[in-house]
Amino acid sequence: MLALWLVSLGLTVWASLTPGKEMPQTGLNDKLVHLWTYSVLAGLPAFSLRPHKSAVWAALSMAPLGAALEFAQMAVPGRSFELADMAANTIGVGLGLTLGLFFAKRIKYQA
């Protein structure tokens, strides 16, 4: 799970800092992509590290990362800073953390 999280993290940073004209168009709603991406980034450590302080901190650290990447996009050609993207990232972190901890706890009690 750690490897999957690190790969997901790296892909997110790369995609966030890729110039706009080089980004493939997915046809998906941009805010849903942000929500999904940060749900995964927060959910993976919460689920894989079990309900532990380090899991929560790893998951919560995705919110400031999302904010920093939004600010960094101001310096990337064809990209822009959007508060709505930052909000979708933060909501995604909350959703991913909640779901990750919920499923980790359920699996723990079933084992």
Residue 92 sits in which domain range? 2-12+30-110
Q: pTM of this prediction?
A: 0.88
In a domain, 22, yes or no: no
Lookup result for tokens 């723990």 = 108
What distance in Å separates the CA atoms of residue 98 and residue 82, rounded to the nearest whole number?
Answer: 25
In a domain, 42, yes or no: yes
CB 95 within 8 A of CB 37: no
pLDDT, tens digit, 9 for 90 and up, residues 17-39: 999 876 656 666 889 999 999 99
For the chain, what is the domain count?
1
In a domain, 8, yes or no: yes
In a domain, 68, yes or no: yes
In the predicted model, is pLDDT for residue 51 greater than 70?
A: no
Please give the pLDDT value at position 39.
Answer: 97
